[in-house]
Chain A
Amino acid sequence: MAQHEHILSAKLYVIIWAALMCLTVITAGVAFIDLGPFNTVVALVIATFKALLVVLIFMHVKYSSERLTKTVVLAALFWLMLLLGLSLMDYGTRHFT
């Protein structure tokens, strides 16, 4: 365990904020362009990228010395994917019968 705390620079926070703002404008703009089924894909990829920036930098997960934190984050995501993934495997394949 590190004794001293990791203080990130204000500049880094502002850069992340600017990136999040740009991605918000991009995702809203792209929604008006017809990409077929890829509209949803692009929207979710951008949202996930934004969420990653917030979790890793703003929530300090990237810099946490505590492995437990990272484990909890990954376990929570894994559990969510079980819920959404297995639900879709059921409802998404019912019309194949």
Chain B
Amino acid sequence: MSDSPIALEHPTELQHHFADMEQQKDASTFGMWLFLGTEIMFFGGMFAAYLIYRRWYYNEFALGSRSIDIWLGTINTIVLICSSLTVALGVRAAQMGKRKLLVILLLITMAFGVAFLAIKGVEWYQKYEEHHVPGSSFNASDIVSVGQKYGIHIDQGHSQIYFSLYFALTGLHALHMLVGLGIFTVLTYLAWKGKYTPEYHTPIEIGGLYWHFVDIVWIYLFPLLYLIDRKPFH
């Protein structure tokens, strides 16, 4: 084996079934985008359910949306956008071979991720205390009375559908954040060990693609769940 000049020359990261590093990287990136395509359909099914129920039960969706803390939602959007910036700068650091900077940026990204989940937890706990978690203890009488005040009829069953979608969508998104944190833990460790160089840092790029995707899902969840109807009553 050692007498083959190719075996001697090629970088250790290059798998033998690829012609060169460029081709290997393109194949990995393509694979990740295909996976993200399936993720779009995964979330898409739930977005479709949301769209249909929102058309049917608009009043319940509008007043349900009002009951969620818009500040927590806005702050979480800002937290995720900041994390996307640190990921983008992290990929750049990897491209330039700046190991320490890469590790620091990955750690900051993870801190933003944890902050997002913590804020999400506070929000969910508010909903739990207000009995807005779908199930046997669900009680939206507070939303019904807001509706009565302004002449809007609210059906508690339909309210429960809004909150079911709220918890399903934010829950699925939070699960993706958890997976992202797991991936980034591994990436940070390997980056610390000096595995990534300007020639080979595809895992950082691809992990970054995943993180940005989760950010994009949130970019849509924020207006669809929190901003359905915030205009003043009249």
Contacts and interface: CB of A to CB of B under 8 A. Distances in A.
Interface of A: 1, 3, 5, 7-8, 10, 13-14, 16-17, 20-21, 24-25, 27-28, 31-35, 39-40, 43-44, 46-47, 50-51, 54-55, 57-60, 64, 66, 68-69, 72-73, 75-77, 79-80, 83-84, 87-88, 91-92
B30 interface: yes
Contacts of A7: 92, 95-96
Contact of A47 (B33, B88, B222): B222
A54 B215 contact: yes
B212 to A, nearest CB: 5
Most B Cβ at <10 Å: residue of A40, A59, A79 = A59
Given A43-B223, A58-B212, A91-B55, A31 B29 contact: no
Interface string B185-216: 00000000000001000000100110011011
Contacts of B223: 27, 31, 43-44, 46-47
B219 A87 contact: no
14 contacts: A8-B92, A10-B89, A13-B85, A21-B81, A27-B222, A31-B227, A34-B232, A46-B223, A54-B216, A54-B219, A75-B37, A76-B36, A79-B41, A87-B51
A16 B89 CA distance: 12
A13 B92 CA distance: 10
A5 B95 CA distance: 8
A43 B223 CA distance: 6
A69 B33 contact: yes
B158 to A, nearest CB: 15
